[in-house]
Amino acid sequence: MKKCKLENLIDEYLFDRLDETQKESFEEHYFSCHQCFEKLEEKNEMIAVIKTKGDEIFQDVYAPTKIRRSWLDSVLAFLTPRQWAMAAVSAALILVVSIGVIPNLKTSTPEFFINDDLVRGSSITLISPMIDNLEQIPSEFRWQSLGENTEYKLFIFHQEELLWSTTTEENFVTLSENIKSLMAPGKKYSWQVKAFSPEGTLIAVSSRVQFNFLSSK
Amino acid sequence: MEKRKKDSDIDAIVAKYRPVVSFRVKKSIGVQTPDWEDVVNEIMINVVEKLKKGEFRGDSSVGTFIYTITSRRIIDFIRKKSKVLKHAPEPNPYLSPHEHVENRERAQWIADSIKRLKPKYREVLFLYYYQELSREEVAKKLKISPRRVSERVNYAQKLLRKVMKE
């Protein structure tokens, strides 16, 4: 079956990156194009799983290691998830120590390191706001703390543009009235948190979660 | 030209379009409350009524016809909801509208399959879908071309599609 030309819009649509006209036009399209709708449903499900189970799925993408990839593949298949859970804690400790001590890690396969951002530890679990169509503008953004001596940067985006960001050592930020006045009902926003060590190294990044609110009261 | 649709045709249309309408409605108004199911039912009833009455003129496709009804209903619903600001109970933070995974077992099955993918596919899924970086940003981080990023993302999805269809 020939590929539908509009298939590439699926990702953009699911991430709310299309403008209003494109969005409506694509929505009308998948009502008629069964091929696109099927792919859309599949992709949506895949993204849903990735977003909700991301911490679990991508644990090893976070933990840089000197182990060559082919060996890593067989190791991953070797243990059961439960065994991995138990091994992960001890492994993480060992890796953190090795990274600090072994300088030639920089020459390992670049694909395992998120470029110059050395990522270790676990991802940041966001707590709230986690849903769309909130009734009011959220006053507080909260996430799970990664422990002592962590600095967090909160980013709030309007569509793709950065609207505002702030730094804190707490695991939450309360919005002032000034900041709240920057946002309007109905518009699409998203937020994300990055964690830094005291020296300023990036430790972890959360996923980006969308939100919008219906009334400014 | 036959303007009214036969009952069996109408059943077929309902069966075919209910999932599409459900998807659109869930995406627009969320799945936290059971409202979405009511909205979908109202839309399907409306569609059947109009088909039986012969209101569908056949100059656009059935899909577009149903799309139009769906859009209107969603707008009406959102307008109604915005006016009535009831105090909502504390929402479950892990159920976000289009990120709601309905079947836990199936979700775990898919998650396990993703874990079994080769690292280079998991990396792109992580950066592109979990962190929602753009193609270009992912390319920069992994030191590959944006085109290769797309290829890997598409291929990863192809591999998973086989699994998800089981």
pLDDT by residue (tens digit) across A61-72? 765 443 445 556
Domain boundaries, chain A: 5-54, 59-112, 126-215
Task: Indicate the average pLDDT of chain B.
Answer: 83
Of residues A87 and B127, more confidently modeled? B127
Of residues A55 and A103, more confidently modeled? A55
B25 confidence band (pLDDT: 50, 70, 90): very high
| Separation in Å, CA A196 to CA A55, A74, A203, B52 | 18, 32, 5, 62
Share of chain B above pLDDT 90, in %: 46
Confirm or reject contact between B70 and chain A (CB < 8 A).
Answer: yes
Task: Indicate the average pLDDT of chain A.
Answer: 79
Q: Does domain A126-215 have CATH number 3.40.430.10?
A: no
For chain B, list the domains and their CATH numbers. Answer: 7-83 (1.10.1740.10), 101-164 (1.10.10.10)
Q: Which two structure tokens, joined as six digits, stand for B58?
A: 């056949």
Nearest Cβ partner for B131 among A48, A133, A205: A205
Residue-wise pLDDT for A117-129, tens only, equals: 434 445 788 888 8
Binary contact (A131, B95; C-beta < 8 A) = yes
* Element (DSSP H or E) covering residue A215: strand A213-215
C-alpha closest to that of A152 among A205, A112, A111, A104: A205
pLDDT of residue B40: 95
Q: How far is B154 from chain A (nearest CA, A)?
A: 10
pLDDT of residue B115: 92
A2 confidence band (pLDDT: 50, 70, 90): confident
Question: Which residues in chain B have their CB less than 8 angstroms from residue A77's CB?
Answer: 116
pLDDT of residue B15: 94
Confidence (pTM): 0.58
A141 confidence band (pLDDT: 50, 70, 90): very high
ipTM exceeding the 0.85 mark: no
Q: How many CB atoms lie within 10 A of CB B19?
A: 13
pLDDT of residue A101: 60
SS3 of A183-211: CCCCCCEEEEEEEECCCCCEEEECCCEEE
